[in-house]
Amino acid sequence: MIKNILSAIILVAFVFGKVQAQSLDIYINSALKNSPLLYDYNNQVLADRLDSLLILAAFKPQVNQVSQAMYAPAGSRWGYDEAITNGGNYSAIVNVTQSLFNKKHISGQLQSIDLLNQTLKNNAKITVIDLKKSITAQYLTAYTDFTQYKFNQSVLGRLSDEQKTVKVLVDKGVYLMTDFMNLQVLITAQKIAISQSFIQLKNDVAVLNFICGIQDHQEINLVKPEITVQNNLSAESSPLFAQFRIDSLKNLNNRLMVDLNYRPRINAFADAGFNSIAPENIHRNFGGSFGVNFSIPIYDGKQRKLQYDKINLAESTRIYYKHYYSSQYTLQFNQLTGQLKLTENLIGEISNQLSEQERLIDLYRIEIEKGLVRFLDYLTVLNNYTATKNTFLVAEMNRLQIINQLNYLK
């Protein structure tokens, strides 16, 4: 079993040595490129541009051609009344209609499309933030695994070096064979720890590849991410709060559209063609007409007020949500900054402890060569150092994860 573990470690080390570095930016760029949701938002924005053109086209002159050929046969005691049907009707007319004084209607509908566009772009920003946040969090998890793996390898290298020294001292009778065997057991345990950390690394990198939409890679060589607090930590700059502003404009525009529906409407029309009751007279019945249609709402069962009430409810809900998320944003910010300060203090304390343990290990190594200390004491110090180092790696990951949450707070 030990031989198999050692072979796996050698293979992994060979693989790691050949691979190009993989940075956080590579994963983020891949995720943004492969995201179907961002692709969907982009196409919806393009579709909204087409909707704007459709609105403009709808208010241009509308030209239609209407043709009819109708014959109503009748006998002495059957058939439709010719006073109604004229016996038939033959027509081919081109109609042209144009609404007048419609600039405000056009502006209101275009404003609706523009606000929808703003919502889509804002949703895309939120999606980008969520993607970057989740990918960064997973990358930090994978990088911690990678660091843990490399550290375990370095501990194994140190133990292997000690093994040679202890073997010489055992042969000289300075240390007992049990000391050498204890070291052997520790080396074996360290090899198992390396295998376990590599398996965990592979699993977490597989998750990272999955959420980024890229093919899985056997080779892993992650680069330490440079993450600092970059968010200006202003709630008003958050895209989530930008949506509240857009929703406010939507409510104002909806009220405007309701008002426009109760304004007088004027349409000009004209037509030309032929309209005849007898086919033989078609050539005599060519002509045309033109005029103006005027309409104004008088009473609709108080629908206008009901629509106002509905818009007022939407505005009230918007204000309530805005106040709620504003307080939540402040609460999250205070919690995260407090956690970051405590974590940085903890890292400082652990760093001091690591420095002291490293100096103690160096002293033990000198005294071991002279046979001045018990070897088991040295192994205890080394185990304590390993545990402290692992605690440091976890604390450092927690610090970066907190910064990640601060940077993408929304």
Domains of the chain: 2-59+102-262+301-407 (1.20.1600.10), 64-101+265-296 (2.20.200.10)
Dist. CA 95–CA 269, nearest whole Å: 7
Over the chain (410 residues), what is each successive 10-residue block's mean pLDDT? Answer: 45 49 89 92 91 86 85 78 75 86 86 92 93 95 94 91 84 84 91 93 92 81 87 75 93 92 86 82 84 87 92 96 91 93 96 94 84 84 92 94 91
pLDDT at 17: 44
Give Cβ neighbours of residue 296 (< 8 Å, ≥ 6 apart). Answer: 263, 264, 265
Cβ atoms 137, 179 nearer than 8 A:
no
Record the pTM: 0.81
- CA dist 38 and 124 (Å) reads 6
pLDDT of residue 180: 87
pLDDT of residue 13: 46
If you write DSSP's letter for every residue of 214-227 in order, what string do you get?
----S---BPPP--
Residue found by looking up tokens 């994978």 in the block: 142
pLDDT for res 286: 86
CA distance 282 to 275: 7
Contacts of 67 (CB under 8 A, 6+ apart): 91, 92, 93
CB 172 within 8 A of CB 370: no
CA distance 42 to 99: 33
Instruction: Give me the pLDDT at residue 218, please.
Output: 65
